[in-house]
Amino acid sequence: MRIARFSIDGNVAFGAVEGEGPDGLVLDIIKGIPYAEFELSGTKVPLNKVRLLPPVLPNKVVAIGRNYAEHAAELGNEVPDVPVAFFKPTTSVIGSGDAIEYPSFSNELHHEAELAVVIGRMCREVPRERVKDVVFGYTCANDVTARDVQKREKQWARAKGFDTSCPLGPWVETDLDPHDLTIQATVNGEQRQLGRTSDMIRSIEDLVVHITEAMTLLPGDVILTGTPAGVGPLHVGDEVAVTIEGIGTLTNKVIKRG
């Protein structure tokens, strides 16, 4: 099931996305929130009549760096011995169709297409065999990075945590095998990144186990699983799209901040 979060007439709701094609999609509004058992209301609105919001409002976004060997190599890095984890704040999260604001403190902004894991229940110290039980679904992400800032600052907080640096969307797909999906990024229609989730160095199971050894994850929290090779520059006016097989396309335009 595809679960979207949206606003219409000043109200925010979740809905199940039904239909196919850009003009045939409708939202069946969900009663309540989707992390527990829920009912569909039967009230349907066309997708093109609503504003899509970030599909979740995470308490935290835990991102993983250098989880594809070719991406590590393209930036001159070794594959780390353990997963490299960092946080993106909730204020960095935007939805499909929202603008990425080019930060004033950077001159080298890059796209990074990623598969995002959405957590569905509170969990800690999750054993490998239970990982599937705590995952709500999957969505597209763009780990937008101020590459020049990342290079000169030892901590990545500013380089990867600035406002609008974490586009998520367009919705969460709850019924998906994430282990071998095509993932790609285009800029102004030109393909930049093309990879498969099967090329991850550490699997989703590895990452959930590793992260929850240290911290509790809450419903709606997000794990970014790393990016394949092909990252590259974004400029004001560019439109960047992240497409993942079985999920959909996350699209954002880059604008000048302020």
Fold of 2-52: SH3 type barrels. (2.30.30)
pLDDT cut 90: percent of the chain above it: 90
161-199: pLDDT as tens digits: 999 999 999 999 999 999 999 999 999 999 999 999 999
113-147: pLDDT as tens digits: 999 999 999 999 999 999 999 999 999 999 999 99
* CATH number for the domain running over 61-256: 3.90.850.10
So what's the pLDDT on residue 21?
77
Domain residue extents for the chain: 2-52, 61-256
Whether 2-52 shares its CATH topology with 61-256 is answered no
- At 228, the amino acid letter reads P
pTM as predicted: 0.96
The answer to whether residue 154 scores a pLDDT higher than 80 is: yes
Q: What is the mean pLDDT of residues 76-99?
A: 93
Determine the Cα–Cα distance for residues 236 and 149; give it in Å rounded to an integer.
18
Determine the Cα–Cα distance for residues 223 and 241; give it in Å rounded to an integer.
19
Picking from 48, 23, 6, 54, the residue whose alpha carbon sits closest to that of residue 220 is 54
